Amino acid sequence: MRAVGHRHFVAFVVLLLGIAWGAHTAFSQQPASGTQAKPAKTSSKTVVVQEITLPEYSSDPAPGPSLQTYQKDCLLCHSNRFVEMQPNFSRAVWEKEVKKMVDAYGAPISASDQLEIVEYLVSIRGPAESK
């Protein structure tokens, strides 16, 4: 057991030395105050910049039945974005998820509020309608 503790201590010291060395080299390469920085040498390689578009999520909850109960009980721990990013689940899955919040994580949600929350979640993130 002592050998494991000793190895952790040695690894921690090595990590600290690495951080200190990195900070030393980063600061030693900066020009002294009052001097101009030299432009970096450029290579002949073409740099390609990739652009991505991230999805936008409203911070306002989607309208639905029992919205106030959802806001009161769920947004204590979760952001609205977190909930809206979830996949579409069936009523049975949402019931299990809400029950898990109460049983496993101790969410103070009454049985009647649990039913209302499930109703809301199914209305905004329930099964996709068949076309």
Domains identified in the chain and CATH numbers: 67-125 (1.10.760.10)
* pLDDT value of position 69: 96
> Sorting pLDDT into bands at 50, 70 and 90, what band is 100?
very high
Statement: residue 1 has pLDDT above 60? no
Q: Give the up-direction half-sphere exposure of residue 65: CA atoms within 13 A in the CB hemisphere.
A: 11
DSSP assignment of 57-107: --SSPPP-TTHHHHHHHHTTTS-HHHHHTSPP--HHHHHHHHHHHHHTT--
* pLDDT value of position 40: 55
pTM of the model: 0.56
Q: Which residue has the tokens 């201590």?
A: 9
* pLDDT value of position 88: 94
Record the tokens describing residue 121, joined without a space: 């979640």
> Sorting pLDDT into bands at 50, 70 and 90, what band is 131?
very low
Residue, of 56 and 94, whose pLDDT is higher:
94
Dihedral through CA 113, CA 117, CA 120, CA 122, nearest 10?
-130
Statement: residue 93 has pLDDT above 90? yes
Statement: residue 32 has pLDDT above 70? no
Residue 45 burial by Cβ neighbours in a 10 Å radius (0-12, 13-18, 19+): exposed
* Contact assessment for residue 11 and residue 3, using Cβ atoms and an 8 Å cutoff: no
How many Å from the N-terminal Cα to the C-terminal Cα in the chain? 62
Average pLDDT over residues 17-23: 70
> Sorting pLDDT into bands at 50, 70 and 90, what band is 4?
low
Q: What 8-state DSSP symbol labels residue 115?
A: H
* pLDDT value of position 31: 53
Q: What 8-state DSSP symbol labels residue 32?
A: P
Q: What 8-state DSSP symbol labels residue 12?
A: H
> Sorting pLDDT into bands at 50, 70 and 90, what band is 67?
very high
Distance CA 100, CA 96 (A): 6
